[in-house]
A and B are shown apart, each in its own frame.
Chain A
């Protein structure tokens, strides 16, 4: 009897703990991968860092699914990359494209990347990280004045304006510092 109660409590506790995770993935996925890395796989490719990072934050491939990277990293598409010319020579394009496709959200085992994969598995893949449902929801509670109305942030696209460890692929809430709003969490 005693034993039964104990195991019941344990089961309830376990279910409770998985509750949050269940929102983005099945309990089996969660249980099977408890020990995998958190966050998003950091950039490990020099060409990626150089080619993407010379104009904007070098967004990690794990922030978008394969389908999005395939559309973005295409010779023709790069001629008009959100209004800018970002043409690459064929060799460089192949290298950054391969890197993206190998590390895209749906290929990654990093937890946050998996959540992005889950959020983008149905429907047309967005070309903008800021339009991924999961990313939108995560920033939902931040008032507009702290992002758009903040002269040192301006848009959700500038990850590293607030995510101090963004370069390492870490987007955890504890690492967030919003410029001009030191007490943003209150």
Chain B
């Protein structure tokens, strides 16, 4: 019984943190660490967000398409397609699907930086974005 109360308290603790994690983000952060990432660093994620690389003659960063105001939608740099806001506060669908998060990390890191992101970079980004 005691154990159950303790478990419920721990669960309650998680629930009390508003919109700062999802089952999917929890799963991924655990996975990134088991794949070799250290402690996630949100400040590094924030810095990396606007770090530009030249890919195919175009200066690219995450912010090129997503912007830096996470409550606002972004815009695809080529197709102009609206990208829903990154903030979970205004977009409840964000970070709820492990496969989707991984798919976009893979594609977007390659598009913006010309290479896949490391597990550390992904952990940093995810932690930074979850707090927005």
Residues of B within 8 A of A56 (CB): 76, 79, 81
Residues of B within 8 A of A30 (CB): none
How many angstroms between the C-alpha atoms of A157 and B113 in the bound complex?
Answer: 26
Contacts across chains A and B counted by CB atoms under 8 Å: 32
Residues of A within 8 A of B2 (CB): none
Residues of A within 8 A of B108 (CB): 85
Q: Check: B72 CB closer than 8 A to any chain A CB.
A: no
| A87 and B107 within 8 A (CB) | yes
Residues of A within 8 A of B44 (CB): none
Q: How many residues of A are counted as interface, with CB atoms below 8 angstroms from the partner's CB atoms? A: 16
Contact with A along B62-93 (1 / 0, CB 8 A): 00000000000000101111000000000000
Residues of A within 8 A of B80 (CB): 154, 158
Q: How many residues of B are counted as interface, with CB atoms below 8 angstroms from the partner's CB atoms? A: 13
Among A54, A83, A87, A154, the residue within 8 A (CB) of B56 is: A83
| A84 and B78 within 8 A (CB) | yes
Residues of B within 8 A of A83 (CB): 56, 78
Residues of B within 8 A of A31 (CB): none
How many angstroms between the C-alpha atoms of A142 and B108 in the bound complex?
Answer: 36
| B111 and A54 within 8 A (CB) | no
| B79 and A85 within 8 A (CB) | no
Q: Given contacts A85-B111, A89-B103, is CB(A55)–CB(B81) below 8 Å? A: yes
Q: Check: B106 CB closer than 8 A to any chain A CB.
A: yes
How many angstroms between the C-alpha atoms of A31 and B79 in the bound complex?
Answer: 40
Top 5 nearest A-B pairs (CB, nearest first) are A56-B79, A85-B110, A85-B107, A85-B111, A55-B81
Query: Can you give 7 A-B contacts (C-beta < 8 A)?
Result: A56-B76, A56-B81, A57-B81, A85-B107, A88-B103, A157-B79, A158-B79
